[in-house]
Amino acid sequence: MHSTFIHLLSSIVLATGLHQVQAATYTQSTSYIGNDFLSGDFNFFTATDPTAGRVTYVDQATATASNLTFATDDVFVLRADDTTVLTASDPGRNSVRLESVLTFGSPSAMVLDIAHMPEGCGTWPALWTYGPNWPATGEIDIMEGIPFSGVNNQNNNQGTLHTGPSCTMPASRDQTGTVLNDDCAAADDGNDGCGVEFAANTFGPSFNAAGGGWFGMERTSTFISIWFWPRGSTTVPAGVSEGSTEVITDNWGTPVAYFPNTDCDIASEFEAHNFVINLTFCGDWAGITSVWDLACAASTGVSDCNDYVNANPSAFSNAYFEINSVRIYE
């Protein structure tokens, strides 16, 4: 981890007639690459899954011993156990949830360089940020979904905010993604949050087949935005693929998900957040009977998500993150 904590948010006013262009330049304050993830910069969360998943989150010693976490200087791998057959009385399949020790507030930006993400029926991975007293200080889901393979593959990422009461998003806004829900309040709509669906190949098996890509996130006191650029794309903005020490978010183009403060006091709903990597199974999303029936019942021949996760360890050999870097810009 490199911490320079340079705060640089410069406003460049271009005097082009009546137009004023605000250019936000951010400087890298922290980067997590390879062994950084296992060197004390992240805590291993070992409490019971708050979303009722069929998972046991293990500590660092267990993760290391069973190779559920693995790092070199250049790459970090986080996976679930893919060898153990579980009985119904076992608490759940071993997996890992990491939370950054440092917190990041507004204004800041993040670039996540992801080579592979967990896939398979029953998996529910996420890359996200949240603060204390959830949901009062907000949650930003940068990459999340249930990437089952087989029929009805989920190949579309979802970017979502979860907040305290009184935060909604305008139905029409300057973004390329598709609105799934406008109400961000965790107390409403079964905690669906205000999700935005990304284009195809931003998630799951087809994301992996393409070699992954980069997610960008920017948060300020007036908006939160999320972007995605696929590996090899000619549209990756300067600085993003190179892991530059500076990024200029105004050069990132129209975001896939844009959450403005029109009907949501972004400044008070979102405080400084920890960054989280988690991989659970079934639970409050992937395990819902109607979701499982649509996604995986036919292709697996198993009628219940927990039963499938218990009995089929080898189905989870692709349930791993391979992360090239996570960079924070402030």
**Catalytically annotated residues:** 139, 144
Q: Does 51 bind ligand NAG (CB under 6 A)?
A: yes
The verdict on 70 binding ligand NAG (CB under 6 A) reads yes
Token pair 């705060």 is at which residue?
7
Query: Quick one: which segment of 7-15, 33-41, 47-55, 204-212 binds ligand NAG (CB under 6 A)?
Result: 47-55
Residue span binding ligand NAG (CB under 6 A) among the ranges 45-53, 58-66, 200-208, 220-228: 45-53
CA distances from 291 to 46, 145, 147 (A): 27, 12, 12
Q: What number of residues does the chain have?
A: 330
* Terminal alpha carbon distance of the chain: 15
Cβ-contact 144, 195 below 8 angstroms: no
SS3 44: strand
Distance CA 206, CA 56 (A): 28
Where does this chain touch ligand NAG (CB under 6 A) — which range of 48-56, 180-188, 223-231, 234-242? 48-56
Whichever of 184 and 236 has its CB closer to ligand NAG, that residue is 184
Applying CB under 6 A, does 126 fall inside the site for ligand NAG? yes
Q: Does 156 bind ligand NAG (CB under 6 A)?
A: no
Best CA proximity match to 123, nearest among 282, 298, 315: 282
Q: Least distance in Å: CB of 16 to ligand NAG?
A: 41
- The correct pick among 280, 300, 318, 325 for binding ligand NAG (CB under 6 A) is 280
- 123 interacts with ligand NAG by CB under 6 A: no
DSSP secondary structure string for all residues of 233-302:
-TTPPTTTTTT-SEEEGGGS-S-SEEEESTBS-HHHH---EEEEEEEEESHHHHT-HHHHIIIIIHHH--
Binding mask 259-278 for ligand NAG (x = CB under 6 A): -------------------x
CB 51, min distance to ligand NAG, A: 4
Cβ(265)–Cβ(167) below 8 Å: yes
Contact code string over 97-116 relative to ligand NAG, x by CB under 6 A: x-------------------
Residues that bind ligand NAG (CB under 6 A): 49-51, 53, 67, 70, 77, 97, 126, 128, 141, 144, 278, 280
